[in-house]
Amino acid sequence: MTLDIRGSKKTTRISDNRFIVFEELLSNAIDSYLIRKNETPNIPPLDVRFQIDLYTSDMFAKDSIGVQLIDKA
Q: Average of pLDDT values for 15-39?
A: 87
pLDDT at 11 over 70: no
Q: What angle do CA 42, 73, 68 make, to 5 degrees?
A: 165
Please indicate, yes or no, if residue 11 is contained in any of the structural domains. Answer: no
As a whole number of angstroms, the distance between CA 23 and CA 73 comes to 19
- Check residue 1 and give its pLDDT: 47
In a domain, 9, yes or no: no
Please report whether residue 50 resides in a domain.
yes
* Count of domains for the chain: 1
- Please give the average per-residue pLDDT across 27-37, as a whole number: 90
Kindly state whether residue 59 falls inside one of the protein's structural domains: yes
Q: What confidence category does residue 45 fall into, taking pLDDT thresholds of 50, 70 and 90?
A: very high
Q: Is pLDDT above 50 for 68?
A: yes
Beta strand segments in 1-73, E: 47-56, 63-72
In a domain, 4, yes or no: no
- Tell me which residue range forms the domain holding 50: 20-72
Mean pLDDT over 15-38 rounds to: 87
Which is nearest to 20 in space by CA: 64, 72, 67, 73?
67
> What pLDDT shows up at residue 4?
55
- 55 within a domain of the structure (yes/no): yes
